[in-house]
Amino acid sequence: MVKSYLLKAKQKILLSLFIGLVTTGAAMQYLCTVKADIAQSVVRLHVIAESDSDEDQQLKIKVRDAVIACLKDKLDGAESTDETKAIIAEALQSIADAASAEVAANGYDYPVTAQLGRFDFPTKQYDTVQLPGGEYDALRIIIGSGGGRNWWCVLFPQLCLTGSGGTMPEKGERQLKNVLTEDEYSIVTASQESSTPVKIKFRLLEWFR
């Protein structure tokens, strides 16, 4: 009688473990797919300061503004990641020149590097949008040695070109809905409170990576 009870208990434990593993595996596979889809649908802007000094951090923001001003009209009609990347690639020198001019106008002689490539990002929150960690296409601006804190935003969908006041601009919202599935859109636009479990899962994915 005791052996029969122990055998059934063991079987229940093994079944629970199996179901847990299958469920976890399915959830991780789903999140991996979501991460990949989101990463393919976004082009980011990444500005890295010379250092963490107050002066260099303020300069970083001024360079950011100069780069966004340079790109605003150029990217106005872009409706895809490929189109956005093509425009940035063609304008890369003028972007670097605009950033360098801003650095010089503020009395610094730091060199500026403008790169268009695929770079690794941690999980990040931007206004009302959160993006999982992973590799993304991005325009990267490095000021001087690039040893300071960075600033980033989203060039496509166009969140940092037209956004203000911590809200998603209408054009950026429309583009985001066009390039993401309904589930993916719900995940990246979840509120800070409701997004906590999603962020934890994204962190677990980064750890397993």
- Quick one: pLDDT at residue 74? 92
pLDDT at 99 over 60: yes
pLDDT digits (tens, 9 = 90+) for 165-203: 445 667 777 787 777 777 777 777 765 444 455 554 555
pLDDT digits (tens, 9 = 90+) for 134-173: 899 999 999 999 999 998 888 988 888 654 444 566 777 7
* Nearest residue to 155 via CA among 206, 55, 79: 79
How far is it, in rounded angstroms, from Cα 118 to Cα 126? Answer: 19
Task: Report whether 205 contacts 132 (CB < 8 A).
Answer: yes
pLDDT digits (tens, 9 = 90+) for 121-134: 888 877 677 888 88
- Give me 47's structure tokens: 């500005």
Question: What region does 144 belong to: left with phi over 0, alpha with psi -120 to 50, or beta?
Answer: left
Q: What average pLDDT score do residues 104-113 get?
A: 97
Render the burial of 48-69: b for 16+ CB within 10 Å, e for the rest: bbbbeeeebeebbeebbebbbe
More confident residue, 119 or 31: 119
How far is it, in rounded angstroms, from Cα 206 to Cα 133? Answer: 7
Kindly list the distances between the CA atom of residue 176 and the CA atoms of 159, 183, 187, in Å, as whole numbers in the listed order: 9, 12, 12
- Quick one: pLDDT at residue 123? 82
Is pTM, for the whole model, over 0.75? no
> Which of these ranges, 50-54, 73-77, 92-96, has the smallest mean pLDDT?
73-77
Considering only CA atoms, give the Rg of the chain: 22
